[in-house]
Amino acid sequence: MGVMTETKINGISLVVAPDANAAAAIVADRFASLITANPQAVLGLATGGTPVQTYQQLVQKVQQGQLSFQSVQSFNLDEYVGLKGDHPQSYRSFMNENLFHQVDINLDRTHVPDGAAADLADQCQSYEAMIREAGGIDLQLLGIGLNGHIAFNEPGSAADSRTRLVDLTANTIQANARFFDTIDEVPKQAVTMGIGTIMESKGIVLLATGEGKSHAVERMIQGPVDVELPASILQQHPSLTVVTDPAAASQIQMA
Ligand SMILES: O=P(O)(O)OC[C@H]1O[C@](O)(CO)[C@@H](O)[C@@H]1O
């Protein structure tokens, strides 16, 4: 069993855990501590393959009576356009299955953009307003795409972008095809929080695991701040922790 290392690079706290499970445990503990300290915390949540273990560990803590989500509020980063919340591949369904239906959260206090709304522009504005009314996000969980996207902010997204309708890149459609029967079923558009929205979170924890993410992780932490690698903009956040396994950290030049 390896050891955990913690370093600061470019103002970012980097925690390299011995393996993906330990990385998930570190992130789950961070959320659990926040909720314990502030039962009414406002959580920013993410979907994708990466956070699944983190959610499992949070579910275990609730089942063991160590944690309660009763008074928290949550906001998810994004949702596919055209999928209703009850579609099995919608991010609402993902969250219900992987977390919300397994913990004592009040579903009315969980928010996922409605990708099937008739007026998507209005949906985006009201999502921003709800985050503001909740007092902002206390801790935002992020993953990272192979091309450095965060939420569905693809390369070229402006640093001050807000919740909006976006087109997905061919790269992202390909990466997410594994969750659908055929690639043609992957929606081509999404509603996503903007980079500006994400940057207003009080704290951010980004979880990345696996060799495939290593180049994006290195460029996020050690590359120039560049809209072509959206996650690099996070270097300018005052409270960012990146948690990885050794494989995802393998391209980082340690001092
Ligand atoms: O965790 P995964 O499945 O590799 O996805 C990485 C990122 O891609 C997205 O799923 C969007 O494509 C993000 O929500 C996620 O952070």
Regarding the beta carbon of 95 and ligand 1, being less than 6 Å apart is answered: no
242 bridge partner residues = 14, 206
**Kindly report the CA angle at 116 between 136 and 186, in degrees rounded to 5?**
100
Regarding the beta carbon of 54 and ligand 1, being less than 6 Å apart is answered: no
Residue 251: predicted pLDDT: 98
pTM above 0.90, yes or no: yes
Residue 3: predicted pLDDT: 87
Residue 203: predicted pLDDT: 98
Regarding the beta carbon of 80 and ligand 1, being less than 6 Å apart is answered: no
In this structure, are residues 118 and 84 in contact, taking their beta carbons and an 8 Å threshold?
A: no
- 70 alpha carbon to ligand 1 midpoint, in Å? 27
Q: CA–CA separation, 20 vs 243, rounded Å?
A: 9
Q: Is residue 106 annotated as part of the catalytic site, yes or no?
A: no
- Crossing angle of helices 20-37 and 52-63, in 10° steps, is 50
Q: Is residue 237 annotated as part of the catalytic site, yes or no?
A: no
pLDDT tens, residue order, the chain (255 aa): 578 899 999 899 999 999 999 999 999 999 999 999 999 999 999 999 999 999 999 999 999 999 999 999 999 999 999 999 999 999 999 999 999 999 999 999 999 999 999 999 999 999 999 999 999 999 999 999 999 999 999 999 999 999 999 999 999 999 999 999 999 999 999 999 999 999 999 999 999 999 999 999 999 999 999 999 999 999 999 999 999 999 999 999 987
Minimum-distance ligand 1 atom for the alpha carbon of 78: 14
Regarding the beta carbon of 46 and ligand 1, being less than 6 Å apart is answered: yes
- Crossing angle of helices 91-98 and 52-63, in 10° steps, is 40
Q: CA–CA separation, 56 vs 67, rounded Å?
A: 13
In this structure, are residues 225 and 236 in contact, taking their beta carbons and an 8 Å threshold?
A: yes
In this structure, are residues 230 and 196 in contact, taking their beta carbons and an 8 Å threshold?
A: no
- 48 alpha carbon to ligand 1 midpoint, in Å? 4
**Token digits of residue 8:** 């600061």
17 half-sphere exposure, CB direction, 13 A CA radius: 18
Regarding the beta carbon of 217 and ligand 1, being less than 6 Å apart is answered: no
Long-range CB pairs of 128-131 (<8 Å, 24+ gap) are: 128/162, 128/163, 128/197, 130/75, 131/42, 131/75, 131/197
Structural domains in the chain plus CATH codes: 5-205+221-235 (3.40.50.1360)
Minimum-distance ligand 1 atom for the alpha carbon of 143: 16
In this structure, are residues 109 and 72 in contact, taking their beta carbons and an 8 Å threshold?
A: yes
Q: Is residue 149 annotated as part of the catalytic site, yes or no?
A: yes
Of the residues 76, 98, 147, 153, only one is catalytic, namely 147
Minimum-distance ligand 1 atom for the alpha carbon of 150: 16
Residue 1: predicted pLDDT: 53
Q: CA–CA separation, 74 vs 99, rounded Å?
A: 11
Minimum-distance ligand 1 atom for the alpha carbon of 210: 4
